[in-house]
């Protein structure tokens, strides 16, 4: 039955079903572990035992339907490396941390003069730790040589990639001299 979909249709249906499966797996995880206690947050799924059981049954049935459909139309699983996703999330966290320094909090009102000495060093330390953690998820894998770059001055310009040479504008014509 692999001939039912053209390649673009296959890609579209695969993506939709994969996203649906991921949502179902997340719901399944929350139904099994109804409570998560973090440092600054708590998640608690408040369902009665009967509703929890009904939800677990529906999630399981939906996963079975996804599996059956994927098999029927010949969809293959894709192996994903979450390193890129982790790096992306850490990049967003880094930006949010930088935007939480005392000088940026002025947009919410007057800033206590003593806040800078308490908040900023901690935020800067967390932002640096975020960069270092993100480097551990780099591809190719983290090496001892890469650890030197983790602590490098972030304000220095990045070296240019020799594979990407600056090209003249399409509309310009270079004349031999």
Tens digits of per-residue pLDDT, 89-102?
999 999 999 999 99
The pLDDT of residue 171 is above 60: no
Whether the CB-CB separation of 47 and 55 falls below 8 Å is answered with: yes
**Pair of tokens at residue 123:** 């935020």
State the virtual CA torsion across 93, 96, 101, 106 in degrees, nearest 10: -170
Structure confidence by residue, pLDDT tens digits, 107-131:
999 999 999 999 999 999 999 999 9
Q: Is 130 exposed, middle or buried (0-12, 13-18, 19+ CB in 10 A)?
A: buried
Residues 90 and 100 sit within 8 Å (Cβ to Cβ)? no
Provide the percentage of residues in the chain whose pLDDT is more than 90: 69
* Stated pTM of the model: 0.66
pLDDT at 36: 85
The residue ranges of every structural domain in the chain are 2-72, 83-150
Sequence-ordered list of residues with C-beta below 8 angstroms from that of 86, at least 6 positions apart, any chain: 134, 137
């Amino acid at each position: 039955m692999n001939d039912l979909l053209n390649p673009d249709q296959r890609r579209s249906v695969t993506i939709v079903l994969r996203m649906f499966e991921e949502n179902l797996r997340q719901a399944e995880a929350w139904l099994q572990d109804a409570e998560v206690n973090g440092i600054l947050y708590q998640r608690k799924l408040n369902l009665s035992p009967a509703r929890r059981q009904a939800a677990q049954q529906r999630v399981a049935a939906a996963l079975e339907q996804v599996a059956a459909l994927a098999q029927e139309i010949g969809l293959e699983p894709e192996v994903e490396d979450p390193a890129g996703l982790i790096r992306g999330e850490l990049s967003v966290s880094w930006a949010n941390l930088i935007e939480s320094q005392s000088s940026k909090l002025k947009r919410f009102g007057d800033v206590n003069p003593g806040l800078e000495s308490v908040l900023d060093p901690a935020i800067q330390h967390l932002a640096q730790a975020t960069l270092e953690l993100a480097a551990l998820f780099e591809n190719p894998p983290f090496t001892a040589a890469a650890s030197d770059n983790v602590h490098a001055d972030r304000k220095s310009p990045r070296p240019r990639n020799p594979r990407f040479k600056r090209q003249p504008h399409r509309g310009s014509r270079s004349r031999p001299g």
